[in-house]
Structure 1
Amino acid sequence: MALVLITTDHLRPGDEVDLLLAEAGHRTRHLPGTGVRDPAELVAALDGVEGAVIGTEPLTAAVLGAAPALRAVVRSGVGHDSVDVEAATRLGISVSTLPGVNANAVAEYTLGLLIAAARRLVPLALGVAEGRWPRGSGRELRGATLGLVGYGASARGVVPLARAFGMTVLCTTSVPDDDPSVRFTDLGTLLRESDYVSLHTALTPRTRRLVDEDALATMKPTAVLVNTARGPLVDEAALVRAVTTGVIAGAELDVVDVEPLPADSPLRGVDGITVYSHMAGQTAEARRAAGVGAARELVAALAGAPRSSVNAHLITAG
């Protein structure tokens, strides 16, 4: 029997995930993440814990090093940039993700952001709420070009939806395939030709601040940036300057550098920039799949047979 810590915010004691772990003989400790947490609190919560299901909880080298019993971590999502995988590997801790678990949810949400930007839905609704009756025109997606940065499961899910709206789809990726509905190209070409640029790439040292001042200057002045991937992919200060000076038309951001968005964030109050609360993958269906998938992966990992670990092979080799 292992003690399991669960920090994913939508998982609760007595739910399906809790029952799956209990059926496997494990005990659970819940500490739902609701924002930035003091690392000391997380270290205390990990005391005696052998397995953890986490959301975007930052598991730094210091935190992992203070959890000697920990053997397996499962992210209830697709990325692992919140976990110091190198430190985890050194400490013999398996780190797993759930590839593609919320791809359909993210794809649909991306199209929602494209429509919201094209038809200015948020400013219109806010105008009515404030007692006005705004009548400015929007634009249609048909005939526009969508540039996808990255070609993982969520980006691939966007392609048929965008094509159904009559959009041309460009993509930059290191692993192109033979999809005839996508034109694969380099990042510079994609930025120059796209009316909408949507980010779907992982956060790595190479992609951090991928969308910087130079990249923004390459885009059309009528272009809109959409980010449902990771906040640090974008240089937020450069983005604010680009939108306020007309270098690009705007941005729809589901993710930001610091979440929740700080009260003094320069992104607040910028006409043309709309910030959402990291909800792209948060449908009832995706949440259930992520929770159940995380529980099953953690049970397997604690038994020494993880199925989607990003570092188990390195631990074995070491």
Structure 2
Amino acid sequence: MRGVFIDANDSLAEIFERQRQAGDPPVRVHLNPNITPEQWPEILDGAEIGIVDHTALPTDVARQCKGLKHVVFLGTGARSYMNPEELAELGITVHLIKGYGDTAVAEAAIALMWASARGLAQMDREMRAGNWLRDDGMQLTGKTLGLIGFGGIAAEVARIASGSGMKVIAWNRSPKSHPGVTFVNLDELLATSHVVSLHLLLNDETRGFLSRERIAQMRPGVILVNTARAAVVDEAAMIEALRSGHFRHAGLDVFNIEPLPADHVLTSIPNVTLSAHSAFRTPEASENLIHAAWEHCRRLAGG
């Protein structure tokens, strides 16, 4: 069984080759992170396993990938790039990698929260333009952080936030418990949280989860942090909440269109801090990610 890492960047390619072991299945690294979806069939060249970082795999393109049986997606958000159910009908199984970057993403969420509370990005922009912008920030000690969705990343966010003196509450679609975290119903979380951080996987049930109606329920002056998937939020309603001041600020790492176009409305709203879908990007997380990808390949090749 052959494999191809179809869209490797320099960093991931180096880690991938360093982790290669004697006896591993043959996996070729295609060193180009900027391929188009239409290039899948040519790059795979009949291989049964495709390892992919961020390139979309439309179902009609997958039909042209003769021999493809397994897609190893480097992360958990495959639904943003392909339709796993439609691929399954073609005999192609999508494999996810969970937990590799829980701490990395959690630290990024915390960083976006603090930057949003103190307006750091806006002050930085203004000072570079020669303006001495000073404004009152939000002190987070003693404030309530509401976590929507509670998996490994949210647990790490809770650990860090609790250590900084915040009260942490959470809502999850299935019952959970966690030390130091109070689980509440969604209405209570939306109404009482000074900061809301999203940690939902994207699927048919969570698409548009933070709707216009739920945004209206949120506490005036709330900070929204999203390191999950952009599509769990009604973008138009979020933009209105930012412009009206209902949202104090938003710290966003994920977007409906990536890369975010330079003329996108979010780039012109002052009370937004943007990061380029990079919450998971640390050397430690990348090592974990590639190790898991190799483990998938070894398991699949071994039958």
> What is the match of residue 148 of structure 1?
147
> What is the match of residue 253 of structure 1?
252
Which residue identity is paired with 1:47?
D
SS at match of 1:44: helix
Which residue identity is paired with 2:166?
M
Which residue identity is paired with 1:211?
L
> What is the match of residue 32 of structure 2?
32
**Mean Cα deviation higher: 194-203 or 89-98:** 89-98
| TM-score (normalised: structure 1) | 0.88
> What is the match of residue 75 of structure 1?
73
State the Cα distance separating 1:224 from its structure 2 match: 1.0
> What is the match of residue 52 of structure 1?
50
CA distance in 1, matches of 2:20, 2:46: 17
State the Cα distance separating 1:20 from its structure 2 match: 4.2
* Distance change >3 Å, CA 288–CA 282, structure 1 → 2: same
CA distance in 2, matches of 1:292, 1:178: 30
For these two proteins, the number of residue pairs brought into alignment is: 301
CA distance in 2, matches of 1:222, 1:269: 20
**Mean Cα deviation higher: 126-135 or 270-279:** 126-135
State the Cα distance separating 1:208 from its structure 2 match: 0.8
**Mean Cα deviation higher: 104-113 or 243-252:** 243-252
SS at match of 2:50: strand
CA distance in 2, matches of 1:6, 1:18: 14
SS at match of 2:297: helix
> Within 5 Å, which residues of 2 pair with 1:293-312?
293-304=292-303
* Runs of 4+, deviation exceeding 4 Å: 10-13, 19-22
CA distance in 1, matches of 2:167, 2:9: 37
SS at match of 1:131: coil
Gaps of 5+ in 2: none
Alignment deviations for residues 25-73 of structure 1 (CA, whole Å, 9 cap, x no partner):
4041415334xx5432233323312211112222222122111211221
State the Cα distance separating 1:94 from its structure 2 match: 2.5
Which residue identity is paired with 1:62?
D
For the 8 Å contact 2:148–2:199, the answer to whether it is kept is: yes
**Mean Cα deviation higher: 15-24 or 130-139:** 15-24
SS at match of 1:6: strand
For the 8 Å contact 1:195–1:220, the answer to whether it is kept is: yes
For the 8 Å contact 1:31–1:45, the answer to whether it is kept is: no
State the Cα distance separating 1:154 from its structure 2 match: 0.3
> What is the match of residue 265 of structure 1?
264
The reply to whether residue 121 of structure 1 matches residue 127 of structure 2 is no
> What is the match of residue 94 of structure 2?
95
> What is the match of residue 310 of structure 1?
none
Which residue identity is paired with 1:56?
H
Which residue identity is paired with 2:205?
R
Which residue identity is paired with 1:4?
V
Percent of residue pairs bearing the same amino acid type: 33
> Within 5 Å, which residues of 2 pair with 1:218-233?
218-233=217-232
| TM-score (normalised: structure 2) | 0.92
State the Cα distance separating 1:289 from its structure 2 match: 1.2
* Distance change >3 Å, CA 172–CA 137, structure 1 → 2: same
Which residue identity is paired with 2:59?
A
> What is the match of residue 279 of structure 2?
280
CA distance in 2, matches of 1:71, 1:169: 43
> What is the match of residue 85 of structure 2?
86
> What is the match of residue 134 of structure 1?
133
> What is the match of residue 173 of structure 2?
174
For the 8 Å contact 1:12–1:30, the answer to whether it is kept is: no
Cα-Cα RMSD: 1.9
SS at match of 1:126: helix
SS at match of 2:188: helix
For the 8 Å contact 2:6–2:43, the answer to whether it is kept is: no
SS at match of 1:137: coil
SS at match of 1:267: helix
The reply to whether residue 63 of structure 1 matches residue 77 of structure 2 is no
